[in-house]
Amino acid sequence: MLQIKNIKKDYPVASDLTVHALKGVSVSFRESEFVSILGPSGCGKTTLLNIIGGLDRYTSGDLVINGVSTKNYRDSDWDTYRNHSIGFVFQSYNLIPHMNILDNVTLSLTLAGASKAERIAKAKVALERVGLAKQMKKRPNQLSGGQMQRVAIARAIVNDPDIILADEPTGALDSETSVQIMDILKEIAEERLVVMVTHNRELAERYSTRIVSLLDGEIVSDTNPFDGEQPTVTSSEATPTAQDATDTQASVQCDSNAPSTTKSVRSKGKKRSKMSLWTAFVLSFRNLLSKKGRTLLTSFAGSIGIFGVTLVLAISAGMTAYVDNVQRQAMGDTPITVSSRAVDFESMMSGESFTNKLDPYPSDTTAVKPYKPAMISYIENDITEEYVAYVKNMDETLYKTLDFTYNLSVNAFVIGSDGNYTHLSRFASNATGMVSSQEMFADNYDVLYKTDSTIGYPTEENEIALVVDKYNRMSTTLLTALGINAEADGDNYKEIAYADLVGRTYKLVLNNAYYLPNEDGHYAAITSRADINAACESTNAITLRVTSIVRRKSDDSAKLAEPGVLYSVALADRLLADSLSSDVVKAQKENPDVNILTGKKFADAVGSSATYESVLKTLGGSSLPDKIDIFPQNASAKDKITSYLDEWNAAHESDPDAKVTYTDLQGVALSMMSTMIDVTTWVLVAFSAVSLIVSTVMIAVTTYTSVIERTKEIGVLRSLGARKKDISTIFNTETSIIGALAGVIGIVFAVIVGIIVNIVLHNLFDVTNIVLFTLPVVLGMFVLSIALTLVAGLIPASLAAKKDPVTCLRSE
């Protein structure tokens, strides 16, 4: 039973003006009767109907439902009430155009949480009852006005509500169709309460069991009043018609003693209305399908930013992968080097140009600004026996080979055509020692020519090889240093056959024959022809023979030797051992304050850079390496090696002189390249992000437009029991669908462009996958696209949820 107690409804239209739509209306309704509410426009009929239906809130008074007050109703209570207890029939039908008839009818059941089978079964029964069972697959625009109103009635009764509220149900219909609709409503009124607002007194008097007249927000007559305690009256009972009844000129008040309570209502046994995500998805998807052109254009516009960022990230990933691949390929053949004197790359890269802060050609000047010119900075490392032992103690599984390069005393001579030997002073500076791993050398160098008795690169102490550059060249300066004359041929030089080079011999004079003592006990290098010839023919000389010509395999191969002479590990070991045991070295070590080659004290040698250590290095008398090369097994091993070397420096933090700086040329180059890639990526992403922002704003505007276009649909859904949250979910789902479609379009176009770019770059530069689409990037951009559009639609969706359902239903 429904009771209205002293209901008032005020509408503030200005700060000092309030419209009183209802002025203390009280009326009770039987559980089953056909009540018509009559009155002129603006008398409060529709307002009363909306309050009964829970669409509008009363200002004061009370609406009592089955003895329970609604004063403490929450939004969820009203939603459940509308979904389970109320069925609306509107003058303009208010069917959702992008849904077929069956879906329109089942919508309230969907909100009530009914199963699919139950929804379809009940909808078919309702449609059969109104004579439209065969039309359930059609769209609303395929039906006549009368048919659409019957669909609205079917939608109203499908959830078996207690009350049917009809607002001018025949207002937009012809007379014949109006009769059909009224017949249906009269039949429904036999089993439940039907409250109809109408202007048509004739139809009201013909079909209604009760007529309530309103005027200026007050009840002025009631043909069959009910005090809340009388038995239910149906249209089949012998009751006086509205024409025969005497109008009661009074405001029929509900018995003040009628049972009621102010406790908050919970519709016992009735499930709260709730729209599932699937329903929201279907509603949104169908709406988007009904506007295919705009949906595609909006999605395409939103995809531009996704396309740009995806492509930039893919290029960044591809470049990073390419750099990593280069690093992996070259890692084992590019050493980490510890040298007694190394370039300070960190200082060079961290320095900033002073001139960048100055304006060129200043006009107002009074002084000169001193500045330090840019120059290469060096680091001096003190490689001690403890450090060498520390390096040798490294895990052997981390490196392919560990090579120590020493300062050797290389005194080379070549015999001339006159039978005399000539000193090759620059032979040593153009000579490189073999790496200890022959396998590594063979992997990176080709043997162009060799003698039959050798394997192609020097292994014995008397074997040397000549190294040519990638063009098979040796400079004339280098050839001269090796005692080879290049014959001019015009502006060029004649080629020298491999056979003319392989087999050439040199003499390497050891310290005991090259440095002889003077009368004053000091030592000097031999200079006379007789001494030189004698030394070269003595047992203190090693005969070196060119046994092969070698060349690096490609630019990707490790550069293990410079063009020039390549000598064996065995020769390096022999020279080091001989120098350490030579007389001149022993004499120098016995006299550390005196330069054994000049007889002067190091402290008194003004203008000379000679030191005890430098003289020992010249004589090959230092047992400590001048350089250490560590060839890592792989990238992971390289990181462990550098960490191991860093531990030495960490342990000697308090002693700066004991710190040893290593050089990782490849790491420096790759680090610079990675930094450049990262900076470029972020710059491009920033530019692409602008389009993302623009598209996000555009989607927000589009969503707001959709909210405006679907205002009436919002009202219909709220009248069927949809929550505010359900309305926002619909629009959030719609923007998410647009975002997903935009993401797919952007990613697909980025992939297509990426494939084309990869093909072009492969054909031009023989590189692959410079544009690399990784799963995290693709999924991340897809999710980002959805997230951005979802954020863009939050405000419009919130506005839609907050819309007044009564206002929505009045919109056109």
pLDDT digits (tens, 9 = 90+) for 321-368: 887 777 666 555 678 999 988 776 665 555 444 445 677 777 877 778
- Which of 690, 689, 422, 642 minimizes the C-alpha distance to 532? 422
| Half-sphere exposure in the Cβ direction for 543 (13 Å, CA) | 8
- Which of 472, 474, 535 minimizes the C-alpha distance to 508? 535
Q: Rounded mean pLDDT of 190-200? A: 92
Count of residues making up the chain: 812
Q: Rounded mean pLDDT of 499-515? A: 95
Of the candidate ranges 132-146, 312-326, 598-612, 734-748, the one whose mean pLDDT is the lowest: 598-612
316 vs 633: CA distance, rounded Å: 27
Place of tokens 């909808």: 123
Report the alpha-carbon angle 259-265-266, nearest 5. 130
Q: Rounded mean pLDDT of 272-278? A: 78
Query: Over the stretch 780-789, which tens digit does the pLDDT of each residue have?
Result: 999 999 999 9
- Which of 705, 649, 593, 597 minimizes the C-alpha distance to 288? 705
Q: Is the pLDDT of residue 76 over 70?
A: yes
DSSP string, 295-338: HHHHHHHHHHHHHHHHHHHHHHHHHHHHHHHHHHHHHTTS-EEE
Of the candidate ranges 103-112, 176-185, 345-354, 552-561, the one whose mean pLDDT is the lowest: 345-354
Q: Rounded mean pLDDT of 767-779? A: 91
Q: Is the pLDDT of residue 242 over 80?
A: no
Q: Is the pLDDT of residue 758 over 90?
A: yes
Confidence of residue 386 (pLDDT cuts 50, 70, 90): very high
Report the alpha-carbon angle 10-13-14, nearest 5. 120
Question: What sign has the CA pseudo-torsion 77, 80, 84, 90?
Answer: positive
- Which of 540, 549, 594, 567 minimizes the C-alpha distance to 406? 567
The helix or strand, by DSSP H or E, that contains position 5, with its residue range, turns out to be strand 2-14
Q: Rounded mean pLDDT of 454-467? A: 92
Q: Is the pLDDT of residue 64 over 50?
A: yes
Q: Which amino acid is at 774?
A: T
Q: Is the pLDDT of residue 196 over 80?
A: yes
Confidence of residue 290 (pLDDT cuts 50, 70, 90): confident
Of the candidate ranges 9-18, 93-102, 461-470, the one whose mean pLDDT is the lowest: 9-18
Q: Is the pLDDT of residue 684 over 50?
A: yes
- For 38-51, letters b (16+ CB in 10 Å) and e give bbeeebbbbbbbbb
156 vs 142: CA distance, rounded Å: 20
Question: What sign has the CA pseudo-torsion 616, 619, 623, 629?
Answer: positive
387 vs 676: CA distance, rounded Å: 35
427 vs 405: CA distance, rounded Å: 17
The helix or strand, by DSSP H or E, that contains position 84, with its residue range, turns out to be helix 75-85
Confidence of residue 299 (pLDDT cuts 50, 70, 90): very high
Place of tokens 């680091």: 379
Of the candidate ranges 272-281, 427-436, 566-575, 628-637, the one whose mean pLDDT is the lowest: 272-281
pLDDT of amino acid 250? 32
Q: Is the pLDDT of residue 259 over 70?
A: no
Structure tokens at 246: 């005497």
Which are the contacts of 120, defined by CB distance < 8 A and separation ≥ 6?
102, 106
Confidence of residue 193 (pLDDT cuts 50, 70, 90): very high
DSSP string, 621-677: ---S-SEEEEEESSHHHHHHHHHHHHHHHHHTTT-GGG---EE-HHHHHHHHHHHHH
More confident residue, 522 or 688: 522
In three-state secondary structure terms, 282 is helix
Q: Is the pLDDT of residue 171 over 70?
A: yes
pTM value is 0.64
Confidence of residue 672 (pLDDT cuts 50, 70, 90): confident
pLDDT of amino acid 350? 52
Structure tokens at 797: 């969706």
Confidence of residue 424 (pLDDT cuts 50, 70, 90): very high
Confidence of residue 173 (pLDDT cuts 50, 70, 90): confident
Confidence of residue 671 (pLDDT cuts 50, 70, 90): confident
pLDDT of amino acid 104? 92
The burial class, CB within 10 Å (0-12 / 13-18 / 19+), for 334 is: buried
Q: Is the pLDDT of residue 20 over 80?
A: yes
Q: Rounded mean pLDDT of 202-220? A: 93
Q: Which CATH architecture has domain 2-273?
A: 3-Layer(aba) Sandwich (3.40)
Query: Over the stretch 582-634, which tens digit does the pLDDT of each residue have?
Result: 999 999 999 999 999 988 888 886 666 688 888 999 999 999 999 999 998 88
Beta-bridged to residue 9, according to DSSP, are 22
pLDDT of amino acid 333? 63
Q: Are strands 431-433 and 421-424 parallel, antiparallel or unpaired?
A: unpaired
Q: Are strands 210-215 and 33-38 parallel, antiparallel or unpaired?
A: parallel
pLDDT of amino acid 254? 35
pLDDT of amino acid 257? 37
Show the beta-strand stretches assigned E in 460-584.
463-468, 488-489, 492-493, 505-509, 515-517, 523-525, 541-552, 564-567
Mean pLDDT of the chain: 86
pLDDT of amino acid 277? 85
127 vs 270: CA distance, rounded Å: 24
* 738, 299 Cβ separation under 8 angstroms: yes
339 vs 405: CA distance, rounded Å: 9
* 631, 335 Cβ separation under 8 angstroms: yes
520 vs 587: CA distance, rounded Å: 13
pLDDT of amino acid 43? 92
Q: Which amino acid is at 400?
A: K
Q: Which amino acid is at 381?
A: N
Query: Over the stretch 632-649, which tens digit does the pLDDT of each residue have?
Result: 888 788 889 999 999 999
Q: Where are the domains of the chain?
A: 2-273, 292-330+671-810, 407-623
Return the C-alpha torsion angle 667, 671, 673, 676, nearest 10.
-170
For helices 775-801 and 724-765, the axis angle rounded to 10 degrees is: 150
